[in-house]
Amino acid sequence: MLKSNKSEALGNESISSLLIKQALPASIGILVMSLNILVDTIFVGNWISSIAIAAINVVLPVSFFIAALGMAIGIGGSSIISRALGANDRAKALKTFGNQITITLLLTVSMVVLGLVFINQLIPAFGGKGDIFEPAKIYYRIVLYGVPVLALCMMGNNVIRAEGKPKFAMIAMIIPSLGNLILDYLLINVLDMGMAGAAWATTASYICCFFYVLWYFLSDNSELKIDFSHFGLDLPILKEMSALGFVTLARQAVVSITYLLMNNILFELGGEASVTVYAIIGRMLMFALFPVLGVTQGFLPIAGFNYGAKKHSRVRESIKLAIIYACGVALVIFALIMIFPESIVSVFTQDEAVLRDTPWAMRWVFAAIPIIGIQLIGSAYYQAIGKATPALLLTLTRQGFFFIPLVLILPNYFGELGVWISFPLADTLSTIVTGYFLWRETRLKLETETAEKN
One domain for residues 82 and 69: yes
One domain for residues 25 and 36: yes
Q: What angle do CA 392, 397, 398 make, to 5 degrees?
A: 125
One domain for residues 216 and 238: no
Within a domain: residue 371? Answer: yes
One domain for residues 227 and 241: no
Return left, alpha or beta for 233; rule: phi > 0 is left, psi -120 to 50 is alpha, else beta: beta
Q: Which candidate, 66, 231, 260, places its Cα nearest to that of 150? A: 66
Range of the domain at 443: 234-453
One domain for residues 361 and 309: yes
One domain for residues 389 and 416: yes
Handedness of CA 70, 73, 76, 82 (dihedral sign): negative
Residue ending a domain, among 233, 261, 296, is: 233
Q: What are the pLDDT tens digits along the chain (454 aa)?
A: 444 445 566 777 788 888 888 777 777 766 776 666 667 777 777 777 777 877 777 777 766 676 677 778 887 888 788 788 777 788 888 888 888 888 888 888 888 888 888 888 888 877 777 788 888 888 888 888 888 888 888 888 878 877 778 788 888 878 888 888 899 889 988 888 888 888 898 889 889 999 999 999 888 888 778 778 788 888 888 888 887 777 777 777 787 788 778 888 988 888 878 888 888 888 788 777 878 888 888 888 888 888 878 888 888 888 989 999 999 989 998 999 999 888 888 877 777 878 888 899 999 999 999 999 999 998 888 878 877 778 778 878 888 889 999 999 999 999 999 999 999 999 999 999 999 988 888 776 665 555 545 5
Residue ending a domain, among 233, 260, 275, is: 233
One domain for residues 193 and 242: no
Within a domain: residue 165? Answer: yes
Q: What is the DSSP string of 233-280?
A: --HHHHHHHHHHHHHHHHHHHHHHHHHHHHHHHHHHHHHHHHHHHHHH
Q: DSSP label at 6?
A: G
Q: What is the pTM of this model?
A: 0.67
One domain for residues 205 and 247: no
Residue ending a domain, among 204, 233, 262, is: 233
CA torsion, ordered 309, 241, 4, 20, to nearest 10 deg:
-70
If one counts every other C-beta atom within 10 angstroms of the C-beta of residue 403, the result is 23
> Any alpha helices (H) in 289-311, and if so which ranges?
290-308
One domain for residues 227 and 255: no
Within a domain: residue 3? Answer: no
One domain for residues 191 and 282: no
Within a domain: residue 8? Answer: no
One domain for residues 208 and 335: no
Within a domain: residue 73? Answer: yes
Number of compact structural domains in the chain: 2
One domain for residues 308 and 285: yes
